[in-house]
Amino acid sequence: MQFDLSFFNLKARPLIGLDISSSSIKMVELSDAGKGVHRIERYAIEPLQRDAVVDGNIANLENVAEAVKRAWRRLGSATKNVAMALPAAAVITKKIIVPAGLREQELEVQVESEANQYIPFSLDEVNLDFQVIGQAASGPDDAEILIAASRKEKVEDRVACAEAAGLKPVVMDVESYAAHAAFDLVLSQLPQAGQNQIIALVEIGANVMNVSVLKNSLQLYARDQAFGGNQLTQDIMRTYGMSSEEAEAAKRTNSLPENYEADLLRPFMDSLALEVSRALQFFFTSTQYNQVDHIVLAGGCAVIAGLDEVVAARTQVATIIANPFANMLSSSHVRPHHLVADAPSLMVACGLALRRFDQ
């Protein structure tokens, strides 16, 4: 008989990554398969009603909570602990330098006094957290600290949705940080594991395209552009007289008329590739860099077949579709074919699920 002692070991305690995006609820549960290998135990994607989440803000708490509950049922997990994330726009982050070797209490006092300078709200109105990054570039006498702060109501709305669905939030992260954690798993699929290369991570959601340019996991540049999959959904609604729910469902199940590909899908892919090309031009004109070695496409739109080729042709940059699960084992609950199709849209949920393995 084998005893499961994971309850006593916080590091190994089961945790679900819960991503509330503007179009759907996504959940991922990972486990440790041993020898540094992760296994994806299960995942679920549950569509959200239109306008339930607007610009990263929860506009209809009841509706989102119901969708979270449905996603958790679909997931089929007994785990109730969840890691969640706020959109980057809802979080103020700042790196500060403090003397090395401060005790926790001294560090808290220092962080609060620094935060007062950078946060345009009263500290009573915000959730404030910090993380020690390590030794500062100035030398061993200084430590670099990352401060993160968000207005309390932004955090409370997400917590309320999870709790209303019967779940227990134990981690609140930032969506861009969670995506970068999953992005580290994608790097191994690039030549030389992406070392010393400039890589553009392009996440195309329902309304916003988020572009991060990184080198050796350090962010060089970030930009959001107002472009996303909703434009294609609206074209489908207009052309075929469908509701937004019908258009989304038809898009997902490939059950649209024959002319859809030539008349709507291909022009949308061309527009998307043009937006990516524009984003790279913004990067070149606002930094000292003049080239990108690889583009990694993520987000809901990245599942469109052939999009990587269209983007590569337009930008003349090698392009791949993000799959953070490529080197993971899969449990019997996961259908590999479905996972490959859904993987690009699960970056944030995967990054949140990885918080289970934090030291």
The CB density around residue 153, as the number of other CB atoms within 10 Å, is 15
Contact 298, 343 (CB under 8 A): no
- State which CATH number among 3.30.300.20, 3.30.1490.300, 3.40.190.10, 1.10.10.350 fits the domain covering 90-152: 3.30.1490.300
Query: Whole-prediction pTM value?
Result: 0.89
Superfamily of domain 1-89+153-189+323-359: ATPase, nucleotide binding domain (3.30.420.40)
How many CB atoms lie under 10 A from the CB of residue 33? 15
Residue spans per domain, the chain: 1-89+153-189+323-359, 90-152, 190-321
CATH topology match: 1-89+153-189+323-359 vs 190-321: yes
Give the fold, CATH level 3, of 190-321. Nucleotidyltransferase; domain 5 (3.30.420)
Along the chain (359 residues), what's the average pLDDT of each consecutive run of 10 residues? 33 85 95 92 93 90 96 96 92 88 89 84 86 87 89 93 96 92 93 95 93 92 92 95 89 88 96 97 96 96 94 97 95 94 96 89
* Residues in contact with 252: Cβ distance below 8 Å, sequence separation at least 6, in sequence order: none
Residue 359, pLDDT score: 61
